[in-house]
Structure 1
């Protein structure tokens, strides 16, 4: 099984809010884009909440997202995994992104939203202890199509928290 590498963060220096996933899935890695799986609700939900046209090309969508003060990244920068499920990540292979450097470069970030349980667990285990209580962290329901127990409308309602 080969080593998978994630993406650099999407962030401008003035970012105030960070949204974290766990690790890009196979469709995202193949496309070179965050949340590229056609059934993942991330972009439709976030764009609806922030008033961005979800039909815009990826580069324009991410530019507008960042200009609104939001940053996007993953807890893991690399790992070994078969398929796309977080449960298939080999624990011994996990490489956590460099959050100390990221937060130093983005000092206005005051909130972190975690896209699903895996991102929340990884963040709380590997990143949060070094942060102390300086940044508010909130787990949101995963936008992944694997989270089929939540409807789009229910996910959208929960994700409206990022705009408050």
Structure 2
């Protein structure tokens, strides 16, 4: 197995995996939009993407992380936004292998932590993360406000 930090040469395989990941989370199949999004992230260096392939070069999994800074610790950290293992390769240790790699890479770079969210219903992912030493957040409460477009806000009177 090999894990590679990706660049634009990996665009097509990443776009396919990202599209499959979105479908897994019940988003519409839209390979062109997935490709455009991943391309923009690569070109603008908004995220870091890692690809796990087997010894034959078959793509097994990918991850996408976004850089951030912890003001209190005054150190960088990474937010793991996306982790996806293709269906035929699940429950074989590939997610664990990829997560351990990410931990090693970012620890060597001096990052303060890796942070992630997962669906409350995704018990398999929760079990993996907890087995790797990730701690469930119990101190902070997270809030979201969906912003929508300017036209949507104007219609709603905000």
TM-score normalised by structure 1 residue count: 0.35
Decide which structure has the larger Cα Rg and report it. Answer: 2
TM-score normalised by structure 2 residue count: 0.36
Larger RCO (alpha carbons 8 Å, 6+ apart): 1
